[in-house]
Amino acid sequence: MAKTDPAPAPFAYDGLDRVIHEKARLGLLTSLMAYPKGLAFADLKQLCGLTDGNLSRHLQVLQEAGLIDVTKGYEGNRPHTTCRLTKAGRRRFLDYLAVLEGLVRDAAKAAGREGAPLAPLGILST
Q: Is the pLDDT of residue 121 over 90?
A: no
- The model scores a pTM over 0.75: yes
> Would you mind telling me the total number of residues written for the chain in this entry?
126
Check residue 57 and give left, alpha or beta (phi > 0: left; psi -120 to 50: alpha). alpha
pLDDT (tens digit, 9 = 90+) per residue, 35-79? 999 999 999 999 999 999 999 999 999 999 999 999 999 989 999
**18-110 is a CATH 1.10.10.10 domain:** yes
For 15, 103, 124, the CA distances from 110, given in Å and listed in that order, are: 20, 10, 15
Q: Is the pLDDT of residue 2 over 90?
A: no
Contacts of 69 (CB under 8 A, 6+ apart): 38, 63, 83, 84, 85, 86
The answer to whether 43 and 34 are in contact (CB under 8 A) is no
